[in-house]
């Protein structure tokens, strides 16, 4: 037994009005259920019959539903109706092109700052870096004088002097 929802899905697939996922589900359902396959084949035959019929052979209901989309001079469906993906892609392309042209002609300024502001910022940056450099130089001088000379090299010199005295005294004793 096929549910009403499945019947609608099968009919839409037969007339080519379903999504890829629904077509796949219809295919699987037809493999499992012979009633679904018969329903699909009947509606597919009706679709082909309508497509191959002339306008005068069809009743007014079908005529209003189907033939209002067909150009009778060429006998073909409009590209816009036959393939809505084409219509969407064309609209997207036109909107993208118009947006690009609008933004290009508007002359987007890439820098929100004026030249004077940029020059002033460069001068302030140089002054800041010069100040930082002076601080580092003073810190280096203080490190060399107070820490290396007073705390490291003087004790090492005293130790070396003591070692030298001890080695020379031992040398005299021998």
Q: How confident is the model over 65-113, as pLDDT tens digits?
A: 444 444 444 555 555 555 677 778 888 999 999 888 887 776 655 667 8
- Strand-pairing partners, residue 77, are 70
Give the integer Cα–Cα distance in Å for 35 and 46: 17
pLDDT at position 164, please?
86
Domain assignment of residue 168, yes or no: yes
Domain that holds residue 34: 4-68
Mean pLDDT (whole number) for 22-47:
89
Mean pLDDT (whole number) for 147-172:
81
Give the integer Cα–Cα distance in Å for 30 and 37: 5
Q: 134 or 86: whose pLDDT is higher?
A: 134
Residues in the chain: 174
Domain assignment of residue 95, yes or no: no
Give the integer Cα–Cα distance in Å for 170 and 174: 7
Chain position carrying tokens 């007339």: 15
- Quote the number of domains for the chain: 2
Domain assignment of residue 163, yes or no: yes
Average pLDDT of the chain is 78
Domain assignment of residue 79, yes or no: no
Domain assignment of residue 171, yes or no: yes
Domain assignment of residue 146, yes or no: yes
Mean pLDDT (whole number) for 57-70:
50
Domain assignment of residue 101, yes or no: no
């Amino acid at each position: 037994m096929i549910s009403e929802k499945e019947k609608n899905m099968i009919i839409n697939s037969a007339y080519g009005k379903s999504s890829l996922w629904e077509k796949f589900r219809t295919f699987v359902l037809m493999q499992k259920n012979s009633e679904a396959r018969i329903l699909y084949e009947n509606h597919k035959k009706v679709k082909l019959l309508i497509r191959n019929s002339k306008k005068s052979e069809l009743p007014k209901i079908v005529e209003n539903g189907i033939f209002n989309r067909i150009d009778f001079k060429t006998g073909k469906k409009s590209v816009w109706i036959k393939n809505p993906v084409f219509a969407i892609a064309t609209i997207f392309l036109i909107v993208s092109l118009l947006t690009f042209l609008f933004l290009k002609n508007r002359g987007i300024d890439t820098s929100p700052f004026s030249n004077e502001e940029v020059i002033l910022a460069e001068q302030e940056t140089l002054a800041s870096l010069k100040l930082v450099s002076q601080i580092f130089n003073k810190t280096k001088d203080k490190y060399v004088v107070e820490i290396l000379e007073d705390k490291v090299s003087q004790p090492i010199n005293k130790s070396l002097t003591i070692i030298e005295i001890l080695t020379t005294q031992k040398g005299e004793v021998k």
